[in-house]
Amino acid sequence: MNASAHQPPQIARANGIDICYEIFGDANAEPLLLIMGLGAQMIHWDDAFCEKLAARGFRVIRFDNRDIGKSSHMTGGKRLTPFELLKLRFLKIPVAATYKLIDMAKDTVGLMDALGIKSAHLVGASMGGMIAQEVTLSFPQRVRSLTSIMSTTGNPRVPPPTREAAAMLMAPPPRSKEEYIERFGRTWKVLRVGSFPEEEALDPGRAERTFARGLNPAGVGRQLRAVLASGSRKERLHKVTAPTLVIHGTVDPLVRPEGGKDTAASIPNAKLLMIDGMGHALPARFWPEIIGAIDEHAHRAAAKAA
């Protein structure tokens, strides 16, 4: 990858909102969109992770979803209550939402339109995997390949998060920068599962950078409602024809390993890669396996389509 090929963050108008995006890699390389998860800014796709993918021959585009980071912040909606979750789980009473995953899928396609990209390889993590699945279902002609990481189908039979991981989702927002930085470290320690001192050393700096780009606790709540209100994609996923790779950690406490297995089982000919010891995070020690799998999968799909 040429050093000059990196484009700093910019704003595009897409699907009626502003989307902040950043590009790594040569303009004529295979386009690959990275879609981040619930409440996570685009910088949670680590700079070096993006650079390594770009060095494999991809034009890597990461972006802030609506309601996060430098993209448009929406309005409306109330904080999700445990009572609503109970009603959803036991009485099947839907959660109210100001938008759903299909709207976030349209944001993704709108960004592709703004960048002049007819079709791309999609890589989504957690909620980003759900959005990538929805793009693949609703706009199949725009997807060269799908990689769904630590995500799920929305199938209510998939085991729920561990109690500790669920408690983090429902915790009230931090009231100060110091509390945010402390909470950030604690949250990722729970999500990573196990000992990752090399990641923990980087967490304060990551938290500072995330805080500096701007927090939107109400937006995270709206994103969570979007996930819960969108229901199950399991039956629809049987119709996916895009080459699909599913990556999941064996000890994921938030989206349990069964979520990845259910995704792979629901999509015809999907390849499943379970990464031993990986939780709900992308620590650098797992990058060689993850990046290698994405590289092989997307380039194989490109070669078949050529």
d(CA 242, CA 130): 15
d(CA 168, CA 264): 27
Per-residue pLDDT tens for 151-169?
999 999 999 999 999 888 8
pLDDT of residue 4: 53
Nearest CA to 140 among 231, 241, 238, 270?
241
* DSSP-derived secondary structure letter, 211: H
Q: Which residues contact 301 (CB under 8 A, 6 or more apart)?
A: 121, 144, 145, 242, 243
d(CA 262, CA 101): 19
pTM of the model: 0.96
Nearest CA to 57 among 82, 26, 13?
26
Weakest-pLDDT range from 13-27, 72-86, 234-248, 261-275: 72-86
Residues recorded for the chain:
306
Q: Which two tokens stand for residue 44?
A: 């949670």
Q: Which two tokens stand for residue 242?
A: 């895009």
pLDDT of residue 157: 93
Nearest CA to 71 among 19, 13, 9?
19
d(CA 136, CA 117): 15
Per-residue pLDDT tens for 254-283?
999 999 999 999 999 999 999 999 999 999
d(CA 105, CA 128): 9
* DSSP-derived secondary structure letter, 18: E
Packing angle of the helix pair 217-229, 101-114 (nearest 10 deg) = 110
Per-residue pLDDT tens for 32-70?
999 999 999 999 999 999 999 999 999 999 999 999 999
- Mean pLDDT across the chain: 95
pLDDT of residue 285: 98
User: How far apart, in Å, are the Cα atoms of 305 and each of 27, 123, 267, 296, 300?
Assistant: 19, 18, 19, 14, 9
Please, what is the Cα angle at 242 between 241 and 247, to 5 degrees? 120
> Averaged over 1-17, what is the pLDDT?
86
pLDDT of residue 3: 47
Amino acid at 238: H
Per-residue pLDDT tens for 197-248?
999 999 999 999 999 999 999 999 999 999 999 999 999 999 999 999 999 9
Most distant CA atoms of the chain, gap in Å: 55
d(CA 63, CA 56): 20
